[in-house]
Amino acid sequence: MNKGQIFDFFSRLAEANPAPVTELEYGNAYQLLVAVTLSAQATDVGVNKATRALFREVETPQQMVDLGEDALKQHIKTIGLFNTKAKNVIALSEILVRDFGGEVPQDRDALTTLPGVGRKTANVVLNTAFGQETFAVDTHIFRVGNRTGLAPGKTVLAVEDKLERRVPQPFRRDAHHWLILHGRYVCKARKPECWRCIVSDLCRFKPKTPAPGSVAKAA
C-alpha cells in the first residue's frame, strides 16, 4: 500500500468504529496489566470470565500479593498455562509494590522487566491504559499486516517497525485496536470474509473470498 491507500484504509476503519476499545475487561492500569498477561495463548472471552470475580476482590498489586498464588490459581484455572501465569502475576505484583510504589510504570523498558511481560503486553498496556502510540503485534495484527500489504514482515518486530513508520496521524493511537478487531472478526485466519470487508479494494490479498453461496471471481 502507498501512503494514500494507508490513509484511506484507516479512515474507513475509523469511520466504522470511531472509538475502538480492547475487549478485555478491567478497571485500572494494574488490572489491565494482569488481564493482558493472562491473555497469552487464551481468548479475551476466556480471560474475562476468569477475572470478573478476581477483579472484584483485587484492584491493586498489594491486594494480589495478599490474595496469594494458590487462591489466584483457583480464579484463573480455566485459562491455559494458569500455573505459570499465576506465578508470574504474583511475582510482578511483588515487584510493583517493592520498586514502583504499587503503580504500573508508563515505560516499555520498565514493564518488560516484569515477569511474564513481553514487548507485546507492554505495548498493549502503554496504548490502552496510557494512550501512548504503540503497536502491539499479536497474531491478528501480524496476519492483517502481511495479508493486506499494510505492514509486511517476516517477524513480529518487522511488522511493528513497519506500522511505526507507516501509520499516519490521526490514526496512530487507535490503529492497534482497529487492526486487532479487523483480524478477529473480518480478516480471519482460515477464511477472511472479504465480501463484507470495507477495505477489500485496498488489500493485496487474492483471490478474494466470495460470499457464501457465490462463485469467486478470477484474480
Q: How many domains does the chain have?
A: 2
Query: What kind and span of H or E run contains 202?
Result: none
What local confidence, expressed as pLDDT, does residue 215 receive?
56
Domain endpoint, select from 67, 97, 120:
120
Provide the mean pLDDT of the chain: 94
Known catalytic residue at 174: no
Phi, psi for 216 (deg, rounded to 5): -65, 140
Residue 130 placed within a domain:
no
8: annotated active-site residue: no
Instruction: Look at residue 51 and give its three-state secondary structure.
Output: helix
Report yes or no on 24 lying in a domain: no
Residue 63 within a domain:
yes
- Distance from C-alpha of 203 to C-alpha of 144, rounded to nearest angstrom: 9
How confident is the chain (219 residues) per 10-residue block, as mean pLDDT? Answer: 96 97 96 96 94 97 98 95 96 98 97 96 96 95 97 96 97 96 95 95 90 62
In a domain, 128, yes or no: no
pLDDT at 147: 96
The CATH code of the domain that includes 52 is: 1.10.340.30
Please state, in angstroms and as integers, the Cα–Cα distance from residue 115 to each residue in 33, 103, 137, 150, 181, following that order: 11, 15, 19, 32, 27
Report pLDDT for 135. 96
In the set 66, 73, 120, 191, the catalytic residue is: 120
Which residues fall in the annotated binding site for [4Fe-4S] cluster? 187, 194, 197, 203
Q: Are 42 and 67 contained in the same domain?
A: yes
Q: Is residue 127 part of a domain?
A: no
Q: Give a yes or no: residue 155 inside a domain.
A: yes
The per-residue pLDDT for 219 is 42
Query: Residue 169 corresponds to which cell in the numbers above?
Result: 496521524
pLDDT of residue 218: 43
> Which residue among the candidates 85, 138, 162, 174 is catalytic per the annotation?
138
Residue range(s) defining the domain that contains residue 110:
29-120
Q: From residue 54, how far is each of 81, 83, 91, 181, 207 by CA, in Å?
A: 17, 16, 17, 26, 46
